[in-house]
Structure 1
Amino acid sequence: MKPLKMGVKAMVTAAKARIEEIDTPEAVALLADPKTLFVDLRDPREREREGYIPGSFHCPRGMLEFWVDPESPYFKPIFGEDRRFILHCAGGWRSALSAATLQDMGFEAAHLKEGFGDWKKQGGPIEFPTKKA
């Protein structure tokens, strides 16, 4: 196997060096702020199994750039709102890479430093999807 030019750990480290990281306690305090929107990048199965941050907007990681770009046919108007966007995934790796990518696009977003796993561990509020009958 050909060695990679840069592995994922190095990519995450580089991304974290240039983006805004929000610690879990600070993020929990921001939950009530209507000008802040948590964006959940996790797979739908992760949300179903682990729950989600109340009021968070689900944007699967693979669609993020397309949903953020107003020129894209997939643009979601929620990303055009005047809000602070805090991205999160399970452990902070996908969200760090995503925040760096959005920064490269000219979109401002921070990320939940330790991800949803730490949110859950520290007792942050969690909701679960309603079960379908």
Structure 2
Amino acid sequence: MTREPGTPLARPSASLVEAARAEIRNITVEEAVGLLDDPTYQFVDIRDPRELVREGMVPEASKAPRGMLEFWVDPESPYYKASLDDGRTLVLYCGSGWRSALTAKTLQDMGFDTVAHLDGGFTAWKASGQEIAQVER
């Protein structure tokens, strides 16, 4: 049976995010602030580069667009980046926490066990008045 365009999906994106959050480590902004200077954690912004230029990012965070992160952490991928697979816990974040929750779950499913996500994403980070690093084009 083919789904008619515009009709509800069998599993909407919000339910996927909710299911992912139930299985991953969720970090609050308050916890994240305490981890910024911890050398065993690496913050990773998975938003689109245009979002970074427009809004800024968490200071010292790495940039890894969501569409590439799974490949960048996989040692068997031609796109592997050892800097994202050096034993530190990756704290992923996006705009609102939806993309980062799904990505953290995907990395976990791949066997990447040192991953968490910033609950509420960069929106929560900004709303709490935390420092923001500007990103040049």
Summarize the alignment of residues 117-128 of structure 1 with structure 2, pairs less than 5 Å apart.
117-128=123-134
1:123 Cα deviation after fit: 1.3
1:46 Cα deviation after fit: 0.6
Cα offsets for 1:22-54 (capped at 9, x unmatched): 000110111111211001000001100110111
Alignment partner, residue 129 of structure 1: 135
TM-score norm. by structure 2 comes to 0.92
1:130 Cα deviation after fit: 3.7
Q: List gaps (5 residues or longer) in structure 2.
A: none
1:16 Cα deviation after fit: 0.5
Alignment partner, residue 24 of structure 1: 29
Other structure's SS at 2:92 match:
strand
Alignment partner, residue 105 of structure 1: 110
Other structure's SS at 2:53 match:
helix
Report runs of 4+ in structure 1 exceeding 4 Å deviation: none
Q: List gaps (5 residues or longer) in structure 1.
A: none
1:3 Cα deviation after fit: 3.9
1:96 Cα deviation after fit: 0.3
Residue 76 of structure 2 is aligned to residue 74 of structure 1: no
Which amino acid counterpart does residue 104 of structure 1 have in structure 2?
D
Alignment partner, residue 33 of structure 1: 38
1:19 Cα deviation after fit: 0.4
1:125 Cα deviation after fit: 1.3
Alignment partner, residue 51 of structure 2: 46
Does the CA-based 8 Å contact 2:53-2:136 persist in structure 1? Answer: no
TM-score norm. by structure 1 comes to 0.94
How many correspondences in the alignment? 131
Which amino acid counterpart does residue 26 of structure 1 have in structure 2?
E
